[in-house]
């Protein structure tokens, strides 16, 4: 983590004799120079000089979301769908603090983003002025780098460095705090940023590569454990090639879904608290865990000292801080995941009996969408089957953005993904209200692709105002709203672990969500019966504009399997 003053220690060149430009104009021109074409923002007093200049730069498309948190989440969705750096603007004070959740989300999920906040004038900073907060200090633990602009001449270099840092290595959010007087100040100077030198070649990696290959060849029960770092490290092709060459089974974290296609013959599914049984059993019995771009998150590991208890570990991650943080590695490969995956050439793994066991378990525990359960017996909608059918009928390039709760786990368990960019959800922070703004950001970043947002009745209310953004810009996001009239995941935990003491989870006074969407001029309809689902999916996928499918589901339908907190992943509770 670095401070604003570190930028000042970089070498600079001063170019004089140019036309005077304001800090606000230099900011926007510098952002455009980074290849940015879309900004999500909400204006206010302190950042007004920037918005005054904005119409003069038509190459920058500004999307006015209806809440700063929506701006931030949309920037994250844009970044994750495109692989580019997302950008969001907000004013000082409450505008800046409303961005904090999005900044934290980007930090925990390693999403390249630049957040620009307006600030009170420099002479008022520290005086508790109107709409002043120390956003620099507030966000220090949740950014990769921060700046406070003190001189408009610094801004071009500052912006160039911010976008470089956001995307380089392990991606993450960068904050630029811009005082109003600096935005207004005119200058002819330009302090140029000196790019960082290229990294030196990794030393000693060849020995570790050789050792890793030896361990893979010697293993009788090897297993790949893959995470979100595969996509962020541009290692999808290399991972798939390595899996094909070794023929080793694979499990994935929530953010790793799609790195290997969901229907790939080697893929066992997601592991962890709501992971599939075949995946969790494989982890518990493997003798070698090849970890690529994953960080042993608690939702994946369960009780850590029981996780893969018989396994040696090869850990690959671009962030050396993740190595040995939670689980010791017998061999570690830091640096470029893409290069390390490409360098590994152990040959085909001789583990036929292990493969057959893993794949037999996958078949044994395959989800049965035909056996009647409570909701189906009563003619109701079974959400896992709906999501399974929807993902199979949606275009191959469809993107699913998701909120947080039971529906998030059902999407992870029952939808099919061919690429990591097909699945955009809030992993590390678990942010309710993420799905809708992330969906509109993803659609603006990838307009040629179908974008489906899956939300719950609790989550949709967190950022429901972004329906207005869909309507204003006619963004054709398809929303599937699963409504169980409850905070479903909390209710499930209260049922299972708190003796059915249902405290503050009842949402049976929800509005008619279809009518709410229609009030925003968005097409909407409601589904209450299982025999309506096929036609509803057809209508959803055929819509050319934004549409909301409101689906009523059983309040007491739970997500299974479930690993209780503090227990081994082998201790899975079932229906």
CA distances to 98, 285, 288, 290 from 348, in Å: 51, 20, 15, 15
Is 16 marked active-site?
A: no
Report the run of H or E that residue 181 belongs to, with start and end. Answer: helix 180-184
Phi, psi dihedrals of residue 424, rounded to the nearest 5°: -120, 110
**Are the CB atoms for 133 and 101 separated by under 8 Å?**
no
**Are the CB atoms for 537 and 390 separated by under 8 Å?**
yes
Marked catalytic residue, from 180, 255, 312, 552: 180
Terminal-to-terminal C-alpha distance of the chain: 45
3-state secondary structure string across 254-287 = CCCCCCCCCCCCCEEEECCCCCCHHHHHHHHHCC
- CB-based burial of residue 531 (10 Å sphere; 0-12 exposed, 13-18 middle, 19+ buried)? exposed
Residue with tokens 């690529």: 292
* Distance in angstroms (rounded) separating the CA atoms of residues 139 and 175: 8
Marked catalytic residue, from 1, 6, 56, 130: 130
Residue with tokens 């339908």: 557
Count the neighbouring beta carbons within 10 Å of the beta carbon of residue 56. Answer: 10
Looking at the DSSP bridge assignments, the partners of residue 551 are: 482, 527
**Are the CB atoms for 330 and 312 separated by under 8 Å?**
yes
* Distance in angstroms (rounded) separating the CA atoms of residues 272 and 270: 7
Is 29 marked active-site?
A: no
Q: Which of 336, 432, 439 is nearest to 80 (CA)?
A: 439
Marked catalytic residue, from 10, 34, 131, 465: 131
* Distance in angstroms (rounded) separating the CA atoms of residues 404 and 489: 9
Marked catalytic residue, from 21, 25, 40, 68: 68
* Structure-block tokens of residue 341: 């995956």
**DSSP 8-state class, residue 47:** T
In the chain, what's the furthest Cα-to-Cα distance?
79
Is 489 marked active-site?
A: yes
C-alpha dihedral sign at 41, 46, 52, 56:
negative
Catalytic site positions: 68, 130-131, 180, 489
């Amino acid at each position: 983590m670095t401070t604003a003053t570190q930028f000042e220690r970089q070498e600079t060149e001063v170019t004089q004799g140019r036309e005077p430009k304001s800090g606000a104009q230099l900011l926007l021109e510098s952002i455009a120079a980074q290849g940015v074409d879309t900004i999500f923002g909400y204006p206010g007093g302190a950042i007004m000089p920037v918005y005054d200049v904005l119409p003069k730069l038509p190459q920058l498309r500004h999307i006015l979301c209806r809440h700063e948190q929506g701006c931030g989440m949309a920037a994250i969705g844009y970044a994750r769908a495109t692989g580019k750096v997302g950008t969001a603007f907000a004013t000082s004070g409450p505008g800046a603090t409303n961005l904090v959740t999005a900044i934290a989300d980007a930090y925990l999920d390693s999403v390249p983003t630049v957040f620009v906040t307006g600030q009170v004038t420099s002479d008022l900073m520290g005086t508790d002025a109107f709409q002043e907060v120390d956003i620099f200090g507030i966000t220090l633990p949740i950014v990769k780098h921060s700046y406070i602009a003190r001189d408009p001449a610094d801004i071009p270099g500052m912006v160039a460095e911010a976008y470089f840092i956001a995307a380089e290595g392990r991606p993450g959010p960068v904050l630029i705090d811009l005082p109003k007087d600096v935005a207004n100040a005119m200058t002819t100077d330009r302090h140029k940023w000196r790019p960082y030198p290229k990294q030196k070649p990794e030393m000693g990696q060849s020995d570790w590569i050789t050792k890793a290959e030896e361990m893979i060849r010697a293993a009788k029960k090897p297993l790949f454990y893959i995470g979100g770092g595969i996509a962020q490290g541009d290692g999808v092709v290399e991972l798939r090639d390595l899996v094909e060459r070794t023929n080793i089974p694979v499990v994935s974290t929530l953010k790793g879904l799609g790195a290997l296609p969901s229907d790939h013959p080697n893929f066992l599914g997601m592991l962890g608290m709501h992971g599939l049984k075949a995946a969790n059993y494989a982890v518990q019995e493997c003798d070698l865990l090849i970890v690529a771009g994953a960080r042993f998150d608690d939702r994946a590991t369960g009780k850590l000292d029981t996780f893969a208890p018989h396994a040696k570990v090869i850990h690959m991650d671009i962030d050396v801080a993740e190595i040995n943080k939670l689980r010791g590695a017998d061999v570690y490969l830091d640096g470029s995941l893409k290069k390390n995956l490409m360098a590994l050439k152990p040959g085909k793994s001789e583990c036929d009996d292990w493969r057959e066991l893993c794949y037999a378990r996958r078949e044994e525990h395959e989800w049965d969408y035909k056996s009647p359960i409570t909701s189906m017996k009563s003619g109701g909608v079974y959400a896992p089957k709906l999501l399974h059918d929807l993902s199979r009928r949606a275009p191959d390039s469809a993107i699913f953005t998701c909120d947080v709760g039971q529906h998030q786990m059902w999407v992870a368990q029952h939808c099919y993904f061919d690429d990591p960019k097909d699945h955009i959800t809030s992993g590390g922070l678990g942010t309710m209200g993420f799905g809708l703004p992330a969906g509109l950001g993803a659609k603006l970043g990838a307009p040629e692709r179908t974008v489906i947002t899956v939300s719950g009745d609790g989550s949709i209310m967190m950022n429901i105002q972004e329906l207005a953004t869909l309507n204003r810009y006619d963004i054709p996001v398809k929303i599937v709203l699963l409504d169980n009239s409850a905070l479903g995941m909390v209710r499930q935990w209260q049922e299972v672990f708190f003796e059915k003491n249902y405290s503050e989870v009842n949402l049976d006074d929800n509005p008619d969500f279809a009518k709410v969407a229609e009030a925003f001029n968005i097409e909407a309809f409601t589904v209450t019966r299982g025999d309506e689902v096929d036609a509803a999916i057809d209508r959803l996928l055929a819509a050319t504009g934004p549409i909301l499918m409101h689906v009523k589901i059983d309040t007491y339908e739970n997500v299974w399997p479930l690993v209780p907190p503090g227990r081994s992943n082998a201790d899975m509770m079932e229906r």
